[in-house]
Amino acid sequence: MYNPEAIAAAFAAAREDHSKAIALSIEHRELAEQKNPRFAQIAKQLSLIGADIAKSFYSENPAKSVEALAAESLRLQEERKALLKSMDLPEDYLEPQYSCKQCSDTGRVNGKICSCIRRRAVDFSLEALAAVSPSERCSFESFDLSYYKDMKDENGKSVYEKAKDNLEYLKAYSEDFSEHSKSLYIFGKTGLGKTHLTLATANAIIRRGYHVVYGMAGMIFSDIEREKFKSEEGKYTMQKLLEADLLIIDDLGSEFHTSFSASVAHNIIESRLLANKPIIITTNLDLGGIHRQYGERIASRIIGEYVPIRFVGEDIRQLKEFMY
């Protein structure tokens, strides 16, 4: 659950907000004291009262002492509020204004990670996905089924119904997703909406707090090759690919094919299968193409372990360009 790098970034952002809030409150206090020295006097008196309350527990009548000191503290606080009001300043002007009221920008509440950290982690994860894909434009709502209405497949069947089924299936998949969901084999010709719906699925799953790693097949295999032979760590490492709750390999088969890329593909698929962790593969290759390019072992795994989702029809991207 949650991208570890995103969690670390979220805590770093919270610490920065905490420091800024403290610095601003000090600046406000200094400005107020310059305009009216009584603020400094009140702050000193309140500090002394705090020390006196601690000492009062050792007096003959601690309850009475604490009550008197508390009353004096309340009187001073009311005086400070009145001073702030006379200067047209809000009552909390001298207090740190934290972005999260629950944890005061510490990131934790009663030792547990605050919800603000989880929200920040989701935002960072979505930004990371958008940095390597057009994910910001991809949602289930923006998948326009109207382009498929007049299309027929090679058997004369409605493409619209198939596209609608794919949309509904992937939407349900994202809503029910867990670390042990089924793997998906999404295939079909170029420009049919495979990447759009896959990224919509990724966005939805990230928003639910899961750690999703997305990459084009060529980029993933290239980074793994550098990691293995040159000890250079790129964006994708084998550890990151295997640790993610969901791995998405986009456009499998479009990369420059080598025996090493086939070996890496097999290693990733096999390792995540053994760990019972899902992969979403998108590709222009049918199972015959997978068998020819990657061999029988990978084809067999996909046939036996992956849910096939076929996209049919004409190139939507070309249709959009023609229409507009």
Tell me whether strands 306-311 and 183-188 are parallel, antiparallel or unpaired: parallel
Please tell me the predicted confidence (pLDDT) of residue 69. 85
Burial 288-308 (b: 16+ CB within 10 A, else e): eebbebbeeebbebbeeebee
Q: How far apart are CA 55 and CA 77, in angstroms?
A: 21
pTM for the predicted model, two decimal places: 0.85
Per-residue pLDDT of 73-130, as tens digits, reads 999 999 999 999 999 999 999 999 999 999 999 999 999 999 999 999 999 999 999 9
Please tell me the predicted confidence (pLDDT) of residue 321. 53
CA torsion, ordered 52, 57, 58, 63, to nearest 10 deg: 100
Please tell me the predicted confidence (pLDDT) of residue 319. 55
Given a contact cutoff of 8 angstroms between Cβ atoms, the answer to whether 151 and 313 are in contact is yes
Q: How many CA atoms lie within 13 A of 210 on its CB side?
A: 25
Given a contact cutoff of 8 angstroms between Cβ atoms, the answer to whether 298 and 176 are in contact is no
Class of domain 132-323: alpha beta
Kindly report the average pLDDT of the chain as a whole number: 91
* Model confidence at 324: pLDDT above 50: no
Give the start-to-end residue ranges of the domains of the chain: 4-113, 132-323
Burial 111-143 (b: 16+ CB within 10 A, else e): eebbebbbebbbbbbbebbeeebebeebebeeb
Per-residue pLDDT of 150-165, as tens digits, reads 787 777 778 899 999 9
